[in-house]
Structure 1
Amino acid sequence: MRAWIPLLAAVLTTAAAPAVAAPFAPDLEHTSVYFAASHFDRTTMRGRFDKIDGAINFDEATNQGGLDFTVDAASINTRLQVLDGVLKSEQFLDAMQFPFIRLRSDRFVVEGGKLVAVQAKLTLHGVTQPVRLEVRRFSCGDEKLPGSTRHVCGGDFHLAIARSAFGMTRFLPDVGDRVDLDISVEATPQ
């Protein structure tokens, strides 16, 4: 009977040990941030940010981890140079004074073993607010490409913000207060 005690203690200690999140590198060719907002309540203005960087720590066994992403505010791209200039100006993003948009999280929400949301802090226009990204799809697995296989975790995330909560009130209510952000991320273990 006493021979089982050390083995049982080792098993219980191992089972109780916290999971370790491993560093993942975002694949910037397969990572994007798109936005959409009402334009005079007639159409939806859409665009993207072209320069994104970030770091992810993730434990595949528990779907827990953290992330820290930055977006270059001046990389906004609507395919309309004049509009891009207005959005970069002090009227909206004020990219000269606030060059980066930052999204940080250390709380991933898991239900039934699935990642369903990410609780985060978004810093935009010099203001930090708590936000919740809803997970539209997420999975990890091997991608078999011609000549190679790589392990990838990736997903699509959605976030809706009120731009007025970040001090951007120009042209309200004609240009919508609600801004929808769609974020796609693929990342590989480092």
Structure 2
Amino acid sequence: MKKIIALLIAAGVSLTAFAAPENFTSDEHHTFSSFSYSHFGYSTQQSRFNNTKAKITLDRAAKTGSVDAVIDAKSVDTGSKLFDQHIQGEDFLDTAKFPTITFKSTKFNFTGDQPSSVEGNLTIKGITKPVTLKITHFQCMDHPMAKKLACGVNATTTIKRTEFNAGKYAPHVGDDVTLSFAVEAIKD
């Protein structure tokens, strides 16, 4: 009987260890955020931010987690230095006053064993709005080079830029902006 109890306790301890939250830090070389919008209906313009950092906590057994992400708004990359400066101006991101864009999660949603979306608060130009990031890809496995657990995710959401006081030229330049995130994070 003592052996059975000892085995049950050992099993409970190992199950608890398995269910423990895991902390991850984004890999700066494989983590980017981007945005796209309609330009007068002629084309969908695509640009990115070259500096996005995230701290992630994930408990896959409990189906919970958290994300705290910071985007360096001054790292905007449109492919044109002149347009980068234009986007950083007061009419759009106003990076002199608001150098970062942040996302702080409030809830993880799972479909089966996989996270399917993350709800949270997006702050641009000091204005915070709730958004839901739809996860389009999620994968965790041992990283072959880092020799640690790593997780990768792609997620998107669409916002109205006028709601963040960045609506110059709307509606001619599209008010709807699709934000996309490609994150690879390595376990701490």
How would you bin the TM-score normalised by the shorter chain?
A: 0.7 to 0.9
Give the CA deviation at 1:63.
4.0
| Structure-1 separation of matches of 2:11 and 2:185 | 32
Q: 1:180: which partner in 2?
A: 178
Give the CA deviation at 1:155.
1.0
Give the CA deviation at 1:113.
2.0
Q: What 5-or-longer segments of structure 2 have no aligned partner?
A: none
Q: Which secondary structure state, in structure 1, belongs to the residue aligned with residue 84 of structure 2?
A: helix
| Structure-2 separation of matches of 1:14 and 1:187 | 25
Give the CA deviation at 1:20.
3.3
| Structure-2 separation of matches of 1:182 and 1:41 | 20
| Structure-2 separation of matches of 1:66 and 1:150 | 20
Contact 2:157 2:180 in 1 (8 A): yes
Q: 1:29: which partner in 2?
A: 29
Select the residue among 151, 162, 165 that pairs with 2:163: 165
Give the CA deviation at 1:51.
1.5
Q: 1:78: which partner in 2?
A: 78
Q: Which secondary structure state, in structure 2, belongs to the residue aligned with residue 144 of structure 1?
A: coil
Q: 2:103: which partner in 1?
A: 103
Count of residues paired in the alignment: 188
Sequence identity (%): 34
| Structure-2 separation of matches of 1:109 and 1:98 | 30
Q: Classify 1:16/1:57 alpha carbon distance in 2 versus 1 (closer, same or farther; 3 Å).
A: closer
TM-score under structure 2 length normalisation: 0.88
Q: Which amino acid aligns with 1:41?
A: G
Q: CA RMSD in A?
A: 2.7
Q: Which amino acid aligns with 1:27?
A: D
Q: Which secondary structure state, in structure 1, belongs to the residue aligned with residue 29 of structure 2?
A: helix
In the TM superposition, 1:33-182 aligns within 5 A as 33-145=33-145, 149-182=147-180
Give the CA deviation at 1:125.
1.3
Q: Which secondary structure state, in structure 2, belongs to the residue aligned with residue 175 of structure 1?
A: coil
Q: Classify 1:11/1:106 alpha carbon distance in 2 versus 1 (closer, same or farther; 3 Å).
A: farther
Q: Which has the higher strand share?
A: 1
TM-score under structure 1 length normalisation: 0.87
Structure 1 runs (4+) deviating above 3 angstroms are 3-17
1:75-102 superposed Cα distances (whole Å, 9 cap, x missing partner): 1110111211111000100011111100
| Structure-2 separation of matches of 1:176 and 1:7 | 62
Q: Which amino acid aligns with 1:186?
A: E
Q: Which amino acid aligns with 2:104?
A: R
Q: Which amino acid aligns with 2:56?
A: I
Give the CA deviation at 1:163.
0.6
